Structure 1
Amino acid sequence: MGSGAWLRLLLALGALWGIGAREKVLGTLGKATLLRIPRQLQERTLDFGEASWKRSTEEPQKKKFLLKFSGGNYTEFEPGRMRFHTLDFSLEILNTSRGDGQLYEYSVSKGPEEEVWQVQLEVFEPVANPSIRILHQELSNGSCSLTLLCTSERGDEVSYSWDSRDNGTWEICSGNGSFLNLSYSLWSAGFGCVCTARNPVSSRDVAFDSSQCGSEQPGDPGLRTELLVLLAGLGAVVIVIVVMVAFRATHLAKRDQDPSWPVPDLSQVTPASTSPTIYAQVQRVQKPKGTVPNATSSSCATIYTVATGPPPAPDGAPWSPAGSPTPQGHPPLSQEPTTVYASVTLPVA
C-alpha cells in the first residue's frame, strides 16, 4: 500500500471519528512559521474547490476561522498576522508568538464530504549564546582540576552537551549536562572543550581553552583586584603629600632667594614693644669776663635718653605706688616707658 493510500485511510478514519491526521510543527518565537498540508490534500482542494484554515480556542467546542477558500478566491480574517499561499494552500504566521502555539486545522469539503488535516504548533524561544564559568579550580603536582558550568541566559527547554574541539581529546571533554569535570596535566598539549546549548529550534556553542587553567584560584582575582585598589589609593595619598612638601620647600626657597620679597614694615610694630624717647635740655653757659652768667640767656642742647617708669592709671589719674608695691629702684617689668624732661647747665671754660 502506497503513501497516498495510507493518507486517504487516515483522512477517512479521521472523518469517521471526528478527528484528522495530525502533524507537529515547531515554531521559533519572533520568526515566521509555515503550516503546510500534504500533496494529496492540495489535489483535493483543486478538485473540490472549498477549503478553510481554522484554529482551536480556549473553549474546546469552538474554533476560529483564519481563512476561507472558495472557487479560486480566498478571504483572510487576520491579514496582518497571517499570509495564505495559493500555490500550495499553506498558511504562514508572520511573527510567531507564544499565543500561536495552538492546534490548527485545514479542511477540504465538497457537498457532504470533508477531509481534515491538523497541525499542532509548538513555539520555542531560541537559545542565546552560552557562556562557561569556572566553579572550582585546583592545581597540584603539575596537574589542573576544573569544574566548568555552561549556561545560556535565554531559551526554552535547553539541553547541554560537551564535546572536544580536537579528536584526540574526545574522552576528556565528553559529557552531558551543564557541568563538566576536567583533570589534565599542565604540560600536555593545549586542547579545547566545546559546550553546545540546544533546544528543538536552535543550537549555540562556546569553547573552553585548557590554557585558562593558571596559577590563580577562582577567588584570587577578586582579592587581587581589591588589593590593587587599596594600593592605588595609598599611592595617591603619598603623591599628594610629596607634592605639598615639594611645593612648600620651593615656596620657601623662592622667598629666601628673591630680594624683592616683601619685608615686614617695622613701623607697624605696636608702641608697647619700643621705648619712648626722653628729651633732656643741657644749658651751656658762657661766662663773660667780669660778669656773672645769666641763666636766661644761656643756650640749651637736647640729649636723647631712655628711661622707664610706672604706667599711668587706666582712668588717667596719677599713678600711686600704694596699690602695687615694688622694690625700691627696680620698677616692674610690665611697666611701660615714659618721657622724662631734664635740664643740665654746663659751664664753659
Structure 2
Amino acid sequence: MCAFICLLFLLSLHYGSTDYNGHDKEYETIEGTIGKPLDLPANITKPNQKHWLRKMMDDGRRKKILQYDPQNKNKSVFDADLFRFNVSKMEFEIVKVQREHEGRYIITEDGDTEFDLAKYYIKVYEQISRVSIGLAENPINESCVITLNCTTQEGDHVMYNWSQNQKYLKHNSSVLQVTLSPSTANVSYTCRASNPVSQGVSSITPLVARCSTTPEERWDTLLIVVLAILLPALVLLVLIGKYIQVYCATEKGSFSLDPQRPHPVPGPVPEPVQTTHTVYATVQKVQAPVNLPTTEHCTIYELAGPVGNQSHQTTVP
C-alpha cells in the first residue's frame, strides 16, 4: 500500500512538473527572433480537414488565432495579418515575430472529434547586435590592472564568455579583470556574446604603451602635459598685455600698428604773437617812469630853415 502511494506521488510530480520556461513539458519549445518569421510545424496528415491555431491564455481559455479551411479559403480568420497558413508546407506561420507572441500554442484538427496535433511554447528573443569591449586601466607599480567590459547594443538573455589568444577562459561574466605586465601587454582578448537565436564577437589587444610606462616616464609625461597647458596661457597673457599697451598708445595718437603708415610729423612752431595793448589797458597798467633824453628848444623860424640863398646868410656869433 505504501509503495502504491509513493508511485502515485512520483507520477504526480512527473506530470505536474514544468521546465525552465515555466510551462508544461508537453509543450515543445520553439525560439523566435523579434522581427523575423517563425514556422509552427503541425504534422498534418489530413489536409482536407479544418485545422485551428489557438493560443492558451492564462485563465485556461483557448483563444482562436487562425483557421485553415480547405473548402472555404476565403473565410474570415483571426489575426490574419500576423499569422498565416502555408499550404505548400501544410503548417502555420507567424509572419513577423513580436514580443507579445511569446506563450503557449495548440494546433488542433476538426473532425468527428477535435484533438490536438501539436503543442508549442514560443520563447521570443531579441537578436544581439554591435558587441563592443570597453577598457579601463589602473597602473600599479610595474604591472597594470585592466578591466574589460563587454556590452551589446541590442539583445536579451545574453550570455558571455572570454578567450585569451583563442584559449577559452572559464569566465561567464560580461566584466573581465586581467593583470598585464610589459611582457604580456600584447595579449589579445575576445568576448563572445550569445543568446539562443544569435551571437556576436569582439576582440581587443591592450597596447604596450598603456601599461608599460615607468614612474619616471609618467612624471615626464605629466610635466609635458603641465607645460603644454601653462605655456599657451602665459603667451596669451603677454599678448593681452601688449594689446592693451598698443591700444592705449593708439588712442593717444602716438603709435600706429601699420608699418606702412607714416608717423605724424609735428608742424612748424608758430612765432610768438606780440600782444597789442589798447589805450585802456595802457592806462590801467602801472609803469615805471621813463627818463626821456633832453632836447634843445627851437623857434618855429629855426625849424623852418633859412630864407633865401645860403650865400647871404650871416653867421651869428
Q: 1:154 to 1:241 in 2, by over 3 A?
A: farther
Give the SS at the match of 1:279: coil
Q: 1:209 to 1:135 in 2, by over 3 A?
A: same
Q: Which amino acid aligns with 1:199?
A: N
Q: 1:113 to 1:157 in 2, by over 3 A?
A: closer
Give the unaligned 5+ runs of structure 1. Answer: 1-18, 267-275, 282-303, 306-337
Show the 5 A alignment for 1:69-148.
69-71=69-71, 73=73, 75=75, 76-112=77-113, 114-141=115-142, 143-148=143-148
For residues 72 and 191 of structure 1, the distance between their equivalents in structure 2, rounded to whole angstroms, comes to: 66
Contact 2:32/2:122, CA 8 A, preserved across alignment: yes
How many residues align? The count is 255
Contact 2:185/2:207, CA 8 A, preserved across alignment: no
TM-score of the pair, normalised by structure 1: 0.57
For residues 146 and 67 of structure 2, the distance between their equivalents in structure 1, rounded to whole angstroms, comes to: 57
Q: 1:20 to 1:114 in 2, by over 3 A?
A: farther
Question: 1:23 matched to which residue of 2?
Answer: 28
Q: Which amino acid aligns with 2:38?
A: L
For residues 184 and 116 of structure 2, the distance between their equivalents in structure 1, rounded to whole angstroms, comes to: 66
| Pick aligned residue for 2:176 from 168, 175, 180 | 180
Report the CA distance between 1:118 and its aligned residue: 1.3
Report the CA distance between 1:194 and its aligned residue: 0.5
Show the 5 A alignment for 1:147-226.
147-164=147-164, 166-167=165-166, 170=167, 175-188=171-184, 190-211=186-207, 213-214=210-211
For residues 181 and 144 of structure 1, the distance between their equivalents in structure 2, rounded to whole angstroms, comes to: 10
Q: Which amino acid aligns with 1:181?
A: Q
For residues 55 and 231 of structure 1, the distance between their equivalents in structure 2, rounded to whole angstroms, comes to: 74
Query: Percent of pairs identical after alignment?
Result: 22
Contact 1:33/1:94, CA 8 A, preserved across alignment: yes
Question: 1:45 matched to which residue of 2?
Answer: 46
For residues 184 and 20 of structure 1, the distance between their equivalents in structure 2, rounded to whole angstroms, comes to: 48
For residues 254 and 348 of structure 1, the distance between their equivalents in structure 2, rounded to whole angstroms, comes to: 66
Question: 2:39 matched to which residue of 1?
Answer: 35
For residues 112 and 34 of structure 1, the distance between their equivalents in structure 2, rounded to whole angstroms, comes to: 28
For residues 215 and 243 of structure 1, the distance between their equivalents in structure 2, rounded to whole angstroms, comes to: 46
Q: 1:26 to 1:236 in 2, by over 3 A?
A: farther
Q: 1:118 to 1:262 in 2, by over 3 A?
A: farther
For residues 20 and 159 of structure 1, the distance between their equivalents in structure 2, rounded to whole angstroms, comes to: 24
Q: 1:339 to 1:193 in 2, by over 3 A?
A: farther
Give the SS at the match of 2:130: coil
Q: Which amino acid aligns with 2:60?
A: P
Give the SS at the match of 1:99: helix
- Listed one character per residue, the Cα deviations across residues 262-283 of structure 1 (whole Å, up to 9, x for unaligned) are 87x99xxxxxxxxx957387xx
Report the CA distance between 1:192 and its aligned residue: 1.0
Report the CA distance between 1:229 and its aligned residue: 7.0
For residues 261 and 67 of structure 1, the distance between their equivalents in structure 2, rounded to whole angstroms, comes to: 107
Question: 2:18 matched to which residue of 1?
Answer: none
- Listed one character per residue, the Cα deviations across residues 110-163 of structure 1 (whole Å, up to 9, x for unaligned) are 22253421111111122332332334422433x433232223344221111101
Q: Larger strand proportion, structure 1 or 2? A: 1
TM-score of the pair, normalised by structure 2: 0.62
For residues 20 and 174 of structure 1, the distance between their equivalents in structure 2, rounded to whole angstroms, comes to: 31
Contact 1:25/1:35, CA 8 A, preserved across alignment: no
Question: 1:323 matched to which residue of 2?
Answer: none
Give the unaligned 5+ runs of structure 2. Answer: 1-23, 296-317
Q: 1:346 to 1:230 in 2, by over 3 A?
A: same
Report the CA distance between 1:260 and its aligned residue: 4.3
Contact 1:100/1:123, CA 8 A, preserved across alignment: yes
Show the 5 A alignment for 1:188-267.
188=184, 190-211=186-207, 213-214=210-211, 236-245=236-245, 252-254=254-256, 258=262, 260=264
For residues 58 and 261 of structure 1, the distance between their equivalents in structure 2, rounded to whole angstroms, comes to: 103
For residues 92 and 107 of structure 1, the distance between their equivalents in structure 2, rounded to whole angstroms, comes to: 15
